[in-house]
Amino acid sequence: MTKKLIVIGAGMASGRMLEHLIDAAPGAYEITLFNAEPRGNYNRLMLSPVLSGEKTYEEIVTHDAAWYEERGVTCRFGEKVVAIDTEKKVVTGENGALPYDKLVIATGSNPFIIPLPGHDLEGVIPYRDLEDTEAMMALGAGKRAVVIGGGLLGLEAAAGMAARGTEVDVVHIMGHLMERQLDEAAGYLLRKSLVDKGIRIHCKANSKQILSDGNGHVRALQLDDGTELPCDLLVMAVGIRPSTALGKEAGLEVNRGIVVDDHMVTSNPDVLALGECVEHAGAIFGLVAPLYDQAKVLAKTLLGEEARFVQKEVATKLKVTGCDLFSAGDFAEGEGREDIVFRDPARGVYKRLILEGNRLIGAVMYGDTADGAWFHGLIKDASDVEEMRETLIFGPAYQGGAAADPMAAVAALPRDAEICGCNGVCKGQIEDAINAGAGDLGAVRAKTKASASCGTCTGLVEQILGATLGDDFVIPAAQSICGCTDLSHEDVRQLIKSQELKSQEAVWQELGWTTRNGCHVCRPAVNFYLLADWPLDYVDDPQSRFVNERNHANIQKDGTYSVMPRMWGGMTTPQELMAIAQAAEKYGATVKVTGGQRIDLLGVKKEDLPAIWHDLNQAGMVSGHAYTKGLRTVKTCVGSEWCRFGTQDSTGLGIALERRLWGSWTPHKVKLGVSGCPRNCAEATCKDVGIVCVDSGFQIGVAGAAGMDVKETERLVDVRTEEEAIEWTVAFVQLYREHAKYLDRPYKWVAKVGLDWVKETLADAAERQALVERFDISQSVYQKDPWAERAKPEVARRFHPLADLTLEAAE
């Protein structure tokens, strides 16, 4: 008599298993197949192309009615199995019981639904089967959907709905999309492609609750920060849980999944299992490749043949047209690893290989994944790649050839990319001029005016000359920022503006950085450029700052810190002095009067910083930013208020300037001075901006220095009123913020662009006004006391050790 085989679940794993079993030994078993879904086996992966309209359901059916009939498989579709009795060897379906000799459990997994308030509203669905897909397809144009989860499934759902004209928001809790398969760089490119498709992406977003329309249907998703995203359908794609309930009730060994051995046999010798419902050697599964291996092994086991399931590295691809990504192996955690990075901004390509010793252990790619299979092979086979290390990243076709082109980033720019900000000249105009005969920098300047004003974009113009003329033009070697790029500071600044690069990842990718996230030389510079040009879009990254700016205190040579409160224009009060004295005593600080007209508390321990700041805040004092590339001090004399020579209120003007400028980040430190008469007691004429008061008004000088170089200021302008003096000063500082190279003091920058250009630019009243407005916008974000923020307990915690393992736990 043929033995009876019952299979629970007609999914991808069991479908493949039945093919192997029946091919190898037709008639070995009398097979009954239960499936909760009212249909047989279809290619679940292909639901996404069905959703987007690239395929129909009929095209993705793997086994139709005829297939089952020809092979004598009894189908009980649309019938859920509700119990298994392993003692009597009977399975109970919704429509009755049936005995078995061998049983295969292939129940797959259940989508995880976050138990947010409102998760049981109508219109809240997972993404798992045809019904879910049809619900999404039914939306169409003019409707809105929210997808929670920026992983593989969530993004396929989002892209599929967007392709049908639905407006889609994706809410993702992590910092970048598909964080388990992609690194930040590839996540950036993926996000960009999806945004291009009209999908709105919200990363680092926490869902709070699902709101109802009052009739039991979903109306919107509310985030932690109060934002409401209206929607007609909410799709949760936040992960899966192996479907183990049946197995558990039947008394099988179950951890996260139903436990199987290498032969796919559960803790009961007559019960086998495979697919997403199982756990093998501690691992559970979410992609089909290993399930197909399991199917082969299980079929053999059923036929009494020896076979063992071995886990292999799996690779991920996303099935969204236009988002070509690939990830395989391990690209995080671990010792002894090395990266190889390749970027081609022109084609939107990013590739990163992770090596351990002589072996490739991981690969992440975006934009060009043609070599994915080859890399995946090298990973799976643990091949020795030492020989081809240098050219490995170029793939199998290039073994032995080609290196990266240093001019790629500039060559990749579109023709309408603005190269010269002063004169509004685009790349196309420069190319045209070159093609019309302008063969060197001078000729291009004469024809187009590009780089003819402040000259900052000279490097870019030269690169365009090089790219257009090829070997006929030798590009003078400009100083690149560091080993991560061939571009100079000036090039990068200009491109951040004209290409609207608003994140670090955008800079790394679009400008072809050769490292994952820069180094200690370029990252602080890029961080400054981004926040100076895009104050409302870019968020300052403390991890891209040197220690003093991150901890908001000056690290001293013994690892302690100095703390210096602001004293506006060098003025203080008895109350402030008492608070300073008390703080000094409480935290054991040394007290020094500085050259910047204020008081320094030296020798404070890192752990004490939040507390001393809190104390000084209580007395009304804020950080003096004595450690930043930003406004330091405004030194003043006593002026007309007290001095018999005083012509104007120099102290008042100094205080007004300090109150306007404090908190702003600048390319390097900025110090001001205001003297009440030409006797110049505040030494204003060696400052970055120095104002000398005279009877007729104010003489504003800029670009002084009193450090390694000593230099007198040069006269920018004479103005009559205090308001004008403030306006010109603010405009000058903003022009410096927008144009100077990181770590150039104003006197160095002015020497490069020329005082005449600075004067000319600022003489234009409209331009001056625009600069002041941009400065004020930036101040609306950055004029905050960093001490007050860091003295808050949740932030202050970070100043303490993460853990103390020197204490022995009580026995």
Asked if residues 35 and 73 have their Cβ atoms less than 8 Å apart, the reply is: no
Asked if residues 182 and 172 have their Cβ atoms less than 8 Å apart, the reply is: no
For the bound state, the minimum distance from the C-beta of residue 419 to another protein, rounded and expressed in Å, comes to 29
3-state secondary structure 367-380: CCCCCHHHHHHHHH
559 binds, among another protein, ligand FAD, ligand SF4, none (CB under 5 to 8 A by kind): another protein
- 367 Ramachandran zone, left/alpha/beta (phi>0; psi -120 to 50): left
265 binds, among ligand FAD, ligand HEM, another protein, none (CB under 5 to 8 A by kind): none
Select from 236, 460, 584, 626 the one that contacts ligand HEM (CB under 6 A). Answer: 626
Of 447 and 632, the one with the shorter C-beta distance to ligand SF4 is 632
Is residue 643 part of the contact set for ligand SF4 (CB under 6 A)?
Answer: yes
Which of 128, 127, 87 has its CA nearest to residue 107?
Answer: 128
Is residue 686 part of the contact set for ligand SF4 (CB under 6 A)?
Answer: no
Select from 633, 640, 675, 729 the one that contacts ligand HEM (CB under 6 A). Answer: 633
Q: How many residues bind ligand SF4 (CB under 6 A)?
A: 13
Element (H, E) at 600: strand 599-604
For the bound state, the minimum distance from the C-beta of residue 543 to another protein, rounded and expressed in Å, comes to 4
Of 341 and 637, the one with the shorter C-beta distance to another protein is 341
> SS3 for 510?
helix
Instruction: Give residues in contact with ligand FAD (CB under 6 A).
Output: 8-14, 34-37, 44-45, 47-48, 80-81, 106-108, 127-128, 153, 156, 243, 246, 275-276, 286-289, 291, 319
Is residue 165 part of the contact set for ligand HEM (CB under 6 A)?
Answer: no
Give the number of other Cβ atoms within 10 Å of residue 140's Cβ. 11
> How far from 383 is each of 326, 351, 548, 591, CA to CA, in Å?
19, 19, 46, 63
For ligand SF4, what does the binding mask look like between residues 665 and 684, x meaning CB under 6 A? ----------xxx-xxx---
Backbone dihedral angles phi then psi of residue 672, each to the nearest 5 degrees: -120, 160
Of 458 and 650, the one with the shorter C-beta distance to ligand SF4 is 650
For ligand SF4, what does the binding mask look like between residues 572 and 611, x meaning CB under 6 A? ----------------------------------------
For the bound state, the minimum distance from the C-beta of residue 702 to ligand HEM, rounded and expressed in Å, comes to 16
DSSP secondary structure letters along 527-588: HHHHHHH-TTT----GGGS-HHHHHTSEEPTTS-EEE-B--GGG---HHHHHHHHHHHHHTT
Pick the stretch among 2-10, 163-171, 515-523, 639-647 that binds ligand SF4 (CB under 6 A): 639-647
Pick the stretch among 41-49, 400-408, 569-577, 628-636 that binds ligand HEM (CB under 6 A): 628-636
596 binds, among another protein, ligand SF4, ligand HEM, none (CB under 5 to 8 A by kind): ligand HEM
Asked if residues 426 and 415 have their Cβ atoms less than 8 Å apart, the reply is: yes
Give the number of other Cβ atoms within 10 Å of residue 436's Cβ. 9
Which of 79, 78, 101 has its CA nearest to residue 88?
Answer: 101
Which two three-digit tokens encode residue 484?
């991560």
Of 295 and 634, the one with the shorter C-beta distance to ligand FAD is 295
Give the number of other Cβ atoms within 10 Å of residue 256's Cβ. 13
Of 315 and 702, the one with the shorter C-beta distance to ligand FAD is 315
Distance CA 518, CA 198 (A): 30
For the bound state, the minimum distance from the C-beta of residue 553 to another protein, rounded and expressed in Å, comes to 11
Instruction: Give residues in contact with another protein (CB under 8 A).
Output: 174-176, 179, 183-184, 332-339, 515-520, 523-524, 541-547, 550-551, 555, 557, 559, 798, 801-806
9 binds, among ligand SF4, ligand HEM, ligand FAD, none (CB under 5 to 8 A by kind): ligand FAD
Is residue 519 part of the contact set for ligand SF4 (CB under 6 A)?
Answer: no
For the bound state, the minimum distance from the C-beta of residue 557 to ligand SF4, rounded and expressed in Å, comes to 9
> SS3 for 248?
helix
Distance CA 213, CA 529 (A): 45
Q: Which of residues 665-724 bind ligand HEM (CB under 6 A)?
A: 671, 706-708
80 binds, among ligand FAD, another protein, ligand SF4, none (CB under 5 to 8 A by kind): ligand FAD
Which two three-digit tokens encode residue 660?
């306007």
Which two three-digit tokens encode residue 406?
């240093």
For the bound state, the minimum distance from the C-beta of residue 366 to another protein, rounded and expressed in Å, comes to 16
Q: Which residues of 556-580 are buried (b: 16+ CB within 10 A; e: fewer)?
A: eeeebbbbbbbbbbbbbeeebeebb
Residue 146 bridge partners (DSSP): 169, 234
- Between 722-739 and 755-763, two packed helices, what is the crossing angle to 10 degrees? 120
Element (H, E) at 202: strand 200-202
The owner of tokens 């009243």 is 765
Asked if residues 736 and 775 have their Cβ atoms less than 8 Å apart, the reply is: no
Eight-class DSSP state of 667: S
Residue type, 553: A
639 binds, among another protein, ligand SF4, ligand FAD, none (CB under 5 to 8 A by kind): ligand SF4
Is residue 570 part of the contact set for ligand SF4 (CB under 6 A)?
Answer: no
600 binds, among ligand FAD, ligand SF4, ligand HEM, none (CB under 5 to 8 A by kind): ligand HEM
Element (H, E) at 3: strand 3-8
Select from 637, 703, 731, 733 the one that contacts ligand SF4 (CB under 6 A). Answer: 637
707 binds, among another protein, ligand SF4, ligand HEM, none (CB under 5 to 8 A by kind): ligand HEM
- Work out whether strand 554-555 and strand 258-260 pair parallel, antiparallel, or are unpaired: unpaired
For the bound state, the minimum distance from the C-beta of residue 36 to ligand FAD, rounded and expressed in Å, comes to 4
Residue type, 473: F
Q: Which of residues 646-665 bind ligand SF4 (CB under 6 A)?
A: 646, 650
For the bound state, the minimum distance from the C-beta of residue 671 to ligand HEM, rounded and expressed in Å, comes to 5
Q: Is the dihedral of CA 369, 374, 376, 382 positive or negative?
A: negative
Distance CA 784, CA 774 (A): 17
Is residue 638 part of the contact set for ligand SF4 (CB under 6 A)?
Answer: yes
- Work out whether strand 561-563 and strand 96-99 pair parallel, antiparallel, or are unpaired: unpaired
Give the number of other Cβ atoms within 10 Å of residue 104's Cβ. 28
Residue nearest to ligand FAD (CB): 11
Eight-class DSSP state of 799: G
The owner of tokens 């004092």 is 621
681 binds, among ligand FAD, ligand SF4, another protein, none (CB under 5 to 8 A by kind): ligand SF4
Which two three-digit tokens encode residue 636?
């003043």
Pick the stretch among 45-53, 402-410, 626-634, 637-645 that binds ligand SF4 (CB under 6 A): 637-645
For the bound state, the minimum distance from the C-beta of residue 201 to ligand FAD, rounded and expressed in Å, comes to 19
Is residue 594 part of the contact set for ligand HEM (CB under 6 A)?
Answer: yes
For the bound state, the minimum distance from the C-beta of residue 551 to ligand HEM, rounded and expressed in Å, comes to 14
365 binds, among ligand HEM, ligand SF4, another protein, none (CB under 5 to 8 A by kind): none
Of 78 and 678, the one with the shorter C-beta distance to ligand SF4 is 678
676 binds, among ligand HEM, ligand SF4, ligand FAD, none (CB under 5 to 8 A by kind): ligand SF4
Q: Which of residues 527-586 bind ligand HEM (CB under 6 A)?
A: 554, 564
For the bound state, the minimum distance from the C-beta of residue 520 to ligand HEM, rounded and expressed in Å, comes to 16
DSSP secondary structure letters along 406-455: TTHHHHTS-TT-EEETTTTEEHHHHHHHHHTT--SHHHHHHHH-TTSSS-
Of 549 and 658, the one with the shorter C-beta distance to another protein is 549
> SS3 for 388?
helix
Give contact residues for ligand HEM (rule: CB under 6 A): 554, 564, 594-596, 598, 600, 624, 626, 632-633, 635, 671, 706-708
Give contact residues for ligand SF4 (rule: CB under 6 A): 637-639, 643, 645-646, 650, 675-677, 679-681
